[in-house]
Amino acid sequence: MEPSLTHSGDIDSLSEDALYSMVRRETSDADEQAACLRDWDQIYEQLTPGQFQGRFMEIWFRGIQLFREVTNQSVHEAGLMRAGDRVLGVPVAMEGQGYFCGRPIAQDTIMTMRGGDELDFRAPEHFDIVAVSIPVQVLARYAKDIEHRDIEQELLNAPVIQASKTHVDEFRGFMLAVLESVSRTPAMLQYAAMQKGLEHALLSSVLTAVGSTDDPARIQASPTARHTIVSRAQEYMREHVEEPLTVEDLCRVLGVSRRTLQYSFQEVLQLNPVSYLRAMRLNGVRRMLKAADPDRGSVQDIAARWGFWHLSHFANDYRRMFGELPSETLRGSAHPARLV
């Protein structure tokens, strides 16, 4: 595999408008993948077992962030996106159904959120997404001046849009084409005229893709009742993650039956509550092992702090989830992110 590549404009030779960068990375860890997106504050928790593999590509210019992210395992993504931006993303490929901010998503779904909104996303296995993050004021001004639309009002409380398949295909294809073209000749972004042309083409593509509130082909999905149950359960789990919680504890706290809780987790996360809590704890252990000093920290102590008392069972669960033993993680065997 080639080493990592980062291209950027020369600050001394380019105007501020012509600054740009391009980054491509390969990762072998969910935390490394989460850190790829600049200025995003997010946590990825791996939900399905196996060695994690991820790829990431990003181009940045004029405050616009266009990126593609590929992950092989199902992950739950939480946190905050870049402040002051509006992001819109479309799946390129996926296995099964995902859940974004309480709504189920499919191949032809447009997902969107604004800086300051809470990210709550369960990405399915073998997920490939292309997305663009645009300063809110830039998109709003373009929509008002060119199409006389209040785009932020149209997108208010609409994290998932079931738009026209034709428009979604065109939007996805355009973003992929831009990434492909720039990856071949990244120096094209050194020209301010090229950046301006790409910016306007992206803005136009966004407005066409999401349609308008009176477009009959545009449907906004509502959050599911089961997502509300799962969100409340997740919040309680995170607050008590180091305690030996049981399904019965969650049922009492949430005031729901065991069957309702089970069905809700299966629909939203495709895991039962016990498996999800175990995955949360295993991800917590992994982060602590990676941050620990191998000469001072011990797997046993860290596992115990996360409620794992049976070390052989814990080691087996850990290896099944991440593809390596916890002792190997502690010794720093996890490979750093590679730029390709």
pLDDT digits (tens, 9 = 90+) for 34-76: 999 888 999 999 999 999 999 999 999 999 999 999 999 999 9
Q: What is the mean pLDDT of residues 95-120?
A: 90
Tokens of 58: 């990003």
- Position 217 scores a pLDDT of 64
pTM of the model: 0.82
Q: How far is CA 215 from CA 118, 152, 167, 211, in A?
A: 27, 16, 12, 6
Tokens of 270: 């495709």
Nearest alpha carbon to residue 63 among 196, 170, 155, 193: 196
- Position 102 scores a pLDDT of 86
Separation CA 35–CA 41 (nearest Å): 8
Q: Which domains does the chain have, with CATH numbers?
A: 5-220 (2.60.120.10), 225-339 (1.10.10.60)
**Pairing verdict, β 85-95 and 219-220:** unpaired
Separation CA 22–CA 81 (nearest Å): 19
Residue 5 has pLDDT above 80, yes or no: no
Label residues 199-236 b or e (16+ Cβ within 10 Å = b). beebbebbbbbbbeeeeeebeebebbebbebbbbbbee
Which band of pLDDT confidence, cut at 50, 70 and 90, is reported for residue 216?
low
Residue 204 has pLDDT above 50, yes or no: yes
Paired residues of 134 in beta bridges: 86
Q: What is the mean pLDDT of residues 118-138?
A: 95
Mean pLDDT of the chain: 87
